[in-house]
Amino acid sequence: MMAVLRIIEENIPELQSLNLSSNKLYRLDDLSELAQKAAGLKILDLSRNEVRTAALRGWKGIWGSPNPTPTPSCHENVE
């Protein structure tokens, strides 16, 4: 995932939408820097992964269903 972040930072910092669906992701730790690398990111699709609901809280424009626990299709930012 760090390679993806490096590519975004170096080549497409204006990225607005990123589809990471169906990648068997179960943690978002590696995505913690995504907001700095792509400040204009509005949509992040994490559907059909293994991400838990709690990991998606506080993210705006995150598509997270279906995942192992029921998650709304989009979480509101709680800044």
Asked if residues 54 and 71 have their Cβ atoms less than 8 Å apart, the reply is no
pTM: 0.66
Residue entry with tokens 């690398």: 37
Amino acid at 59: W
pLDDT in tens, the chain (79 residues): 789 899 999 999 999 999 988 988 888 777 878 888 888 888 888 888 887 655 556 666 665 555 554 444 444 433 3
